[in-house]
Amino acid sequence: MADISLTFPDGASRSYPAGITPAEVAADISKSLAKKAISATVDGQHFDLQWPIGHNADIALNTMADDAPALELIRHDLAHVMARAVQELWPDVKVTIGPVISNGWYYDFDRAEPFTPEDLGAIEKKMREIINLRDPVRTEVWERDRAIAHYRAADEPYKVELIEGIPGDQPLRMYWHGHWQDLCRGPHLQTTGQLPADAFKLMSVAGAYWRGDSNRAMLQRIYGVGFRNRDDLKAHLTMLEEAAKRDHRRLGREMDLFHMQEEAPGQVFWHPNGWKIYTTLQDYMRRQQQQGGYVEVNTPQVVDRKLWEASGHWEKYQDNMFIVEVDEEHAREKAINALKPMNCPCHVQIFNQGLKSYRELPLRMAEFGSCNRYEPSGALHGIMRVRGFTQDDAHIFCTEDQIESETKKFIDFLAAIYADLGFPEFKVKFSDRPKTRAGADDVWDKAESALMQATEAAGYDFTLNPGEGAFYGPKLEFVLTDAIGRDWQCGTLQVDFVLPERLDATYIGSDGAKHRPVMLHRAVLGSFERFIGILIEEHAGRLPFWLAPRQVVVASIVSEADEYVTEVVAALQKAGVRAEADLRNEKINYKVREHSLGKVPVILAIGAREVGERTVSVRRLGDTRTDSAGFDEIVAQLAAEAAPPDLR
RNA sequence: GCCGCACUAGCUCAGCUGGUAGAGCAUCGCAUUCGUAAUGCGGAGGUCAGGGGUUCGAAUCCCUUGUGCGGCACCA
């Protein structure tokens, strides 16, 4: 066989017979490397030690010291070991797929009985036993027919279906972890003995549809996390505990911001503290919109189905709308209405009043639109995913030529607001045409290219989300991440050539003829509910001073200070600071603890000394030090801090 | 919506295999005037999510409805 040349990371090259495996290369270099190696990187591809190398290539041998390959292999092999453990414990369980995900892996099984928490413990135990067997990992390439026949004989229908879905010319790779066999593209470790038996944990079991299709079988998915060593695992589990403390549902209760109850599932009862955040944010957004050239409107909640039929929403989203039927006792004819699930059709109605000139475009029409959607019960999540919410919604009516400049303008607008609100980083996703959609393909071509060009012109990278666009047009999504790493879409920008057509929106062009405007649907926060949920989690409840619902508590140390405390509170309130007095007959320790737990950013403690000096003792949240400040000084300072970022 | 799990005082939670409900914190009362993360004592507070069943007897077992939680699917 011809020789090939392999180039190592240090630049050195060696000649080997073609078809040599990385394992053999490692053995050629040293015995210890042969033992320590876990995989190779060949021309940038993660490569199994057993795979033959057929041509000249760059090669690096990986060990457990190499982060990315090590973690990928640990998690991938653990997925296989878990599936083997499950089938050893319950031989009738059918296996499906088990990919690596962030921090771990999952594997989907078909089993009649549900897996219990006790089962997870038994599986973990069996996994450790398997790891301790130090079984070799072996791989072979199989012919397709042989693989199908094998899985038919083994009564593994999901594997048969997987293979049938793989293009015929693609080789099928089998892996054995000891006696246990799985179809897998690899790569894998040399032996299960290379797995850390004390650095993984099975986390949960959950339902998951086969191939993500809600019409198909519901499988049982077991999630696991795996790391290189026990300390990393412990650090991960600690991080999860810390993240749970930031959960907006928990902080919402602890800070007395809002509650929800079963008589109104998916809808928020805002308490005074939470509503203060909401209105402060809304006031800020209203000022931003005025600066950004928007006009603000307000439209009806209960709207006849005829409008939703005209817009096309009735056909597609009827099941997700709150239907309001007017009783025949109240009306001559029974009318079917829906609570508005979005604002766009109503905004077009405003646009359609009177003739619009091209001189009025772009017309940016904003509404803090209160919407209701009957979201599936399983989708509800705290105040992040609700059935009643308010969007910072706007529709920009413009010409095709204005799409690019309006898009760029909007992205800049959004980025500045996110920065003000403490989110300098966000993800951008571009979603193109979905399978079911309105409008002709050439219109979609136009919309997609206009939006993409504008995004690039604005200087933002985006990831493509194929087929995820709205039914009327492509969209950009601006995504923020919550405390436990879940992504939430907040801002959006959607190009729409369809709705103006359906609702017959027109303007008079410079040529004196009627033309269709384009609509850009856009939101920055998305919904106030979701955005506030993310704000709470991002700051772990310790909101920036200007957004904090309770900014200052002035606490007396002795009752002789009460009068002066009241005077300080009044002065702060007059200066626009949300201040309150705590005159209760309690120790200062007690008050400091309580208000600290309540995430009040500033506590001013006042005892006999402060009364005498007309000063205050200042304690900032998260800081155990205290400072002394004069009366006028602290009022001026806190008033300045209380100003929203756009008014500083 | 689907799969699984859960629901006990305002909150966090205990209550073994069925024998008739408990703690801490919060609340209320009394005492305490205290220097930066819990002052002491006392009182009150629950149709054990709702409904149905099994049983001499159900917080506990079964069915059902609701809501929540973790995923999946969905997200105009």
Is the Cβ atom of A614 within 7 Å of strand B at any atom?
no
Taking the stretch 545-604 of protein chain A, residues with Cβ within 7 Å of any atom in nucleic acid chain B are 557-560, 585-590, 592-593, 596-597, 603
Compute the average pLDDT of residues A634-647. Answer: 97
Nearest residue: Cα versus C1' of B38: A590
**Average pLDDT for residues A144-173, to the nearest whole number?**
92
Mean pLDDT (whole number) for A331-341? 86
Lowest model confidence (mean pLDDT) among A361-370, A477-486, A564-573? A477-486
CA A306 to chain centroid, in Å, comes to 35
- According to the model, what pLDDT value does residue A168 have? 80
Give me the pLDDT at residue A1, please: 62
**pLDDT greater than 70 at residue A310:** yes
- Is the model's pLDDT at A273 over the cut of 80? yes
Q: Look up A539 and say whether it is catalytic.
A: no
Residues A136 and A191 sit within 8 Å (Cβ to Cβ): yes
Mean pLDDT of the A132-152 span:
95
The β-bridge partners of A175 are A139, A182
Cα gap A123→A119, rounded to integer Å = 6
Q: How far is the CA of A111 from the C1' of B3 (A)?
A: 12
Among all protein residues, pick the one whose CA is nearest to the C1' atom of B39: A587
Strand B closer than 7 A to residue A249 Cβ: yes
Nearest nucleotide (C1') to alpha carbon of A267: B67
Taking the C1' atom of every nucleotide in all shown strands and the CA of A587, the nearest one is B34
Q: Which nucleotide is nearest to A560 if distance is taken from CA to C1'?
A: B33
Tell me the average pLDDT of chain A.
Answer: 94
Tell me: cis bond preceding A549? Omega within 30 of 0 counts. Answer: no
**Is residue A521 among the annotated active site residues?**
yes
Cβ of A116 near strand B (under 7 Å)? The reply is yes
Which residue is nearest to the C1' sugar atom of B73, using CA? A214
pTM over 0.80: yes
Whether A429 sits among the annotated catalytic residues: the reply is: no
Residue A435 binned pLDDT confidence (cut-offs 50, 70, 90): confident
Span CA (A623) to C1' (B10), Å: 30
Report whether pLDDT(A331) > 80.
Answer: no
Does any strand B atom come closer than 7 Å to the Cβ of A486?
yes
The mean pLDDT value for A208-237 works out to 96
* Residue A271 CA distance to nucleotide B23 C1' (Å): 30
Find the catalytic residue in A76, A221, A276, A395. Answer: A395
Q: Can A514 be counted among the known catalytic residues?
A: no
Q: Please tell me which residue lies nearest to nucleotide B3, judged from CA to C1'.
A: A207
> What proportion of chain A, given as a percentage, has pLDDT over 70?
99
Indicate if A627 belongs to the active site. Answer: no
Sheet of A180-183, strands arranged across: A137-142, A172-177, A180-183
Return the higher-pLDDT residue of A468 and A522: A522
Cα–Cα distance between A336 and A308 in angstroms, integer? 11
pLDDT of amino acid A447? 84
The nucleotide lying nearest A627 (C-alpha to C1') is B36
Give the nucleotide nearest to A585 (CA→C1'). B33
* CA A219 from centre of chain: 24
Q: Is the pLDDT of residue A485 over 80?
A: no
Average pLDDT for residues A34-39, to the nearest whole number? 96
Give residues 181-220 of chain A lying near strand B (Cβ < 7 A): 204-209, 212-214, 218, 220
Determine if strand B comes within 7 Å of the CB of A419: no
A475 is catalytic: yes
When pLDDT is cut at 50, 70 and 90, the band that residue A326 belongs to is confident
The CA–C1' separation of A103 and B23, in angstroms, is 38
What is the spatial distance, in angstroms and rounded to an integer, between the CA atom of A112 and the C1' atom of B18? 30
Residue A602: CA atoms inside 13 Å, Cβ hemisphere, count?
28
- Residue A169: per-residue pLDDT: 77
Residues in A 131-150 whose C-beta is less than 7 A from nucleic strand B are none
Helix (H) or strand (E) holding A237, with range, is helix A230-245
**Range A69-82 burial, b when 16+ CB lie within 10 A, else e:** bbbbbbbbbbbbbb
Residue A424 has pLDDT above 90, yes or no: no
Task: Pick out the nucleotide with least CA–C1' distance to A374.
Answer: B75
Nucleotides of B under 7 A from a protein CB: 1-5, 11-12, 31-39, 66-76
Instruction: Indicate yes or no: strand B within 7 A of the C-beta of A268.
Output: no
In the numeric block, which tokens belong to residue A493? 């920008």
Nucleotide showing the shortest C1' distance to residue A494 CA: B76
DSSP β-bridge partners for residue A110: A94
The predicted structure's pLDDT at residue A473 = 87
A625 has catalytic annotation: no
User: Which of the four pLDDT bands, split at 50, 70 and 90, describes residue A50?
Assistant: very high
- The reply to whether A340 has its C-beta less than 7 Å from any atom of strand B is no
Of the residues A221, A289, A313, A344, which is catalytic? Answer: A344
Among A639, A580, A568, A635, CA closest to A607? A568
Please report, rounded to whole angstroms, the spatial distance between the CA atom of protein residue A584 and the C1' atom of nucleotide B27.
15
- Tell me which residue has tokens 């078909």: A110
b/e map A25-38, b = 16+ CB within 10 Å: bbeeeeeeebebbb
Measured from the CB, is A320 under 7 Å from any atom of strand B? yes
Question: Which H or E run contains A252?
Answer: helix A248-254
Q: Interior CA angle at A191 toward A185 and A197, to 5°?
A: 105
- For residue range A489-505, what is the model confidence (pLDDT) as tens digits? 999 999 998 899 999 99
In A 455-474, which Cβ lie closer than 7 Å to strand B?
Answer: 470-471
Quote the percentage of chain A above a pLDDT of 90.
86
Give the C-alpha separation, A31 to A35, whole Å: 6
